Chains A and B, each alone.
Chain A
Amino acid sequence: MTRYAMVIDTRLCIGCGDCVVACKNENRVPAGLNRDWVVERTSGAWPRLETEFRSERCNHCDHATCVQACPTGASHHWGDTNVVLVNPDQCTGCKACIAACPYDARYITPEGYIDKCTFCHHRVEQGLDPACVATCPTRCMHFGRLDDPRSRVAQLLRERNGETLKPETGNLPNVYYLK
């Protein structure tokens, strides 16, 4: 299995939102909808405060509950990878996947089917990084194969502790955040 993963260094992220804009441009995301978004978390007590920015999107889980929930197989894994895609021609818009996703990554399009982040698999096929990663001005985002120990993402996760969101759901997400 080819495991694509994203590793995001929250210490370098400045919360500019360029990843969001790049995604909307690249994927022609309809107005009012987003495939990725930036979360800002402030912690600590004044005056010792700390702000963390997190660029969030679909986690392309190994055990994707959305793929499991889909009654028509419209939600599926791309080939033998962990990348979760939606086939718009098979989607009935039942929204079972929206209920199943622990990350709020999915939305319903004006055409009535469900859509979400694709890890820009059309770019990955050509050997390019996803649009959000390619755009990031502080280069805090990294994309690559976790099953290749020489890849940048594998190296980063070896060097520093990467955390995933909601690991307790058992979804085995593949977007890591370096603290």
Chain B
Amino acid sequence: MSESNTPRLPLLRFVYDGLRQMVRGRVVYWSWIGLLLAGILVGGWAYIQQLQHGLVVTNLTNQVSWGFYIANFTFLVGVAAAAVMIAIPAYIFHRQDIKNIVLMGDTMAIAAVTMAILFVVADLGRPDRIWHMIPYIGNFNFPASLLAWDVVVLNGYLLLNLGISFYIIGCHYRGCEPKLKLYFPFVVLAIFWAIGIHTVTAFLFSANVGRGFWHHAILAPRFIASAFCSGPALMILGLQIIRRVSNYPIHQSVIDHLAIIMTVALQITLFFVVAELFTEFYNETEAVMSAHYLFVGLNGHDQLVPWIWTGLGMLAIATFIGTVHPLRRNLLLLNVAAVLTVIGVWIEKGMGFIIPGFVPTPIGEIYEYMPNLNEVLISLGIWSIGLLLFTLMAKAAIPIECGALRAPGIPAGKLICRPEQQAPEYRKEPVNGESES
């Protein structure tokens, strides 16, 4: 950095330039932002109802005390974890094409983990007392409580990813290469931390000895496996949208790579489901009641049965598309598979996982649960916040990463792409050496 070129208050300038990027966009961009803002407003209004009257405005009961919020939380922790773990091949196999999207993975992880934290906050009966969960200030029950662990690992993960991505972006903004030696240890830490957040979240459930449906050793492996389905699936969809709207260099080889990860993870996930079904049903024990409720219904209570079979069916179709090479290479079918995977995992490890843990209750009562409108609206609001966060961060990051946006006095970098320009047809490029014909 030459001193004469460094502007005064460089950080302020960086923030200003970033914000300016966020408010510049075309009609499609602003319609999308407007849609998300509307979602946040509606969700905010619903949350005010919940703040005023308490959790009584939800369909949660003393019997089913975790519901739609915690279902979304579990799903999003998986997405956050997987978004970082796809960075592994970039650094281990030195794949430049994947290095280009590592930052997008970090951005997605930041958005997903923020949503996950917000979903836990939405589930609190007394959010005004959340400061009791702050170490040293409150009375933090660490390391005994798994939820305390979750607070530590989720917030640590958020800070870690913010640190890494802002360091890389800031370096590019100032026209210099980020020092690999400086940030690589943190990337390795983030990868292990990613496995950590999902394992801790799994332990949060499997620690409950009174709930046979959760008290399994396979829970953490299953969570990691299904995270590697939904994370790459969301990346496949998100990256294609980014490629379409911004001309960011996302090569088809990256999409193909993500598709393989998703497929293998789907196969493992289905295998785990079969393993669990066998153990539950071949010789039934007392703990099988919850699985009965979920998969076939219990004493005429079968609200979740169509729900779970839809989810598993979606996962099966996605696995089939991913496994058959010609089908997976068809971009349209791959997108179908990605959408099916996202929805399927959202069902399978969301409502399909949380609710049966409470049905029947430990003393044998059956209370069914479905979210009401207020819960859905609050969840919609939180999803809008996450998507808005991702959109804004990506909007500001892309020109910097492309080399178009630099600090004042720093010459523009080698333009690797030009934002706001129509994307070239990437599909025509050879993929991993093999030709597309």
Name A's B-contacting residues (CB within 8 A): 33, 39, 56, 65, 67-74, 89-96, 98-104, 106-108, 110-114, 166, 169-171
**Contacting residue for B120 out of A33, A91, A94, CB 8 A:** A94
Chain A residues closer than 8 Å to B140, beta-carbon distance: 71-73
B214 (CB) vs chain A CBs: closest residue = A99
Whether the pair A92, B66 counts as a contact (CB closer than 8 A) is no
B94-127 vs A, Cβ < 8 Å mask (1 yes, 0 no): 0000000000000000000000000010011111
Whether the pair A92, B129 counts as a contact (CB closer than 8 A) is yes
B256-299 vs A, Cβ < 8 Å mask (1 yes, 0 no): 00000000000000000000000000000000000000000000
Chain B residues closer than 8 Å to A96, beta-carbon distance: 145-147, 204
On whether A93 and B132 interact (CB within 8 A), knowing A71-B147, A71-B148, the answer reads no
Whether the pair B66, A112 counts as a contact (CB closer than 8 A) is no
- 21 A-B interface contacts by CB (under 8 A): A39-B363, A65-B209, A68-B207, A69-B146, A71-B132, A71-B141, A72-B141, A89-B129, A90-B132, A91-B125, A91-B126, A92-B124, A94-B120, A96-B204, A99-B357, A100-B209, A101-B362, A102-B209, A104-B363, A108-B65, A110-B56
What's the count of A-B pairs with C-beta under 8 Å? 125
Q: Which of A33, A68, A112, A169 has the most CB of B within 10 A?
A: A112
Given A68-B207, A99-B205, A166-B362; 10 other pairs, CB 8 A cutoff: A65-B209, A72-B139, A92-B127, A93-B129, A94-B123, A95-B123, A111-B126, A112-B126, A113-B125, A166-B210
**Contacting residue for B66 out of A70, A73, A90, A95, CB 8 A:** A95
Chain B residues closer than 8 Å to A111, beta-carbon distance: 54, 126
| B208: Cβ under 8 A from any A Cβ | yes
Chain B residues closer than 8 Å to A166, beta-carbon distance: 210, 362
Cα distance A74–B126 in the bound complex, in angstroms: 13
**Contacting residue for A95 out of B125, B133, B144, CB 8 A:** B125
Interface pairs A-B: 9 shortest CB-CB: A93-B125, A102-B210, A112-B125, A72-B132, A71-B147, A112-B126, A71-B148, A169-B209, A107-B62
Chain A, interface SS category: loop
Chain A residues closer than 8 Å to B141, beta-carbon distance: 70-73
Whether the pair A71, B209 counts as a contact (CB closer than 8 A) is no
| B151: Cβ under 8 A from any A Cβ | yes
On whether A100 and B210 interact (CB within 8 A), knowing A90-B139, A108-B125, A112-B54, the answer reads yes
Whether the pair B126, A72 counts as a contact (CB closer than 8 A) is no
Closest Cβ of chain A to B127, distance in Å, is 7
On whether A92 and B126 interact (CB within 8 A), knowing A99-B66, A110-B56, A169-B209, the answer reads yes
Whether the pair B144, A93 counts as a contact (CB closer than 8 A) is no
Closest Cβ of chain B to A33, distance in Å, is 7
Number of chain B residues close to chain A: CB under 8 A: 40
Chain B, interface SS category: loop
Whether the pair A68, B62 counts as a contact (CB closer than 8 A) is no
Chain B residues closer than 8 Å to A65, beta-carbon distance: 207-210
Closest Cβ of chain B to A113, distance in Å, is 6
Cα distance A112–B210 in the bound complex, in angstroms: 23
Chain B residues closer than 8 Å to A94, beta-carbon distance: 120, 123-125, 147
Chain A residues closer than 8 Å to B123, beta-carbon distance: 94-95
B170-210 vs A, Cβ < 8 Å mask (1 yes, 0 no): 00000000000000000000000000000000001101111
Closest Cβ of chain A to B363, distance in Å, is 5
On whether A108 and B55 interact (CB within 8 A), knowing A69-B146, A72-B132, A95-B125, the answer reads yes
| B138: Cβ under 8 A from any A Cβ | yes
Chain A residues closer than 8 Å to B130, beta-carbon distance: 92
Q: Which of B55, B62, B123, B139 has the most CB of A within 10 A?
A: B62
A169 (CB) vs chain B CBs: closest residue = B209
Whether the pair A74, B132 counts as a contact (CB closer than 8 A) is yes
| B253: Cβ under 8 A from any A Cβ | no
Cα distance A145–B133 in the bound complex, in angstroms: 34
Chain B residues closer than 8 Å to A102, beta-carbon distance: 209-210, 362
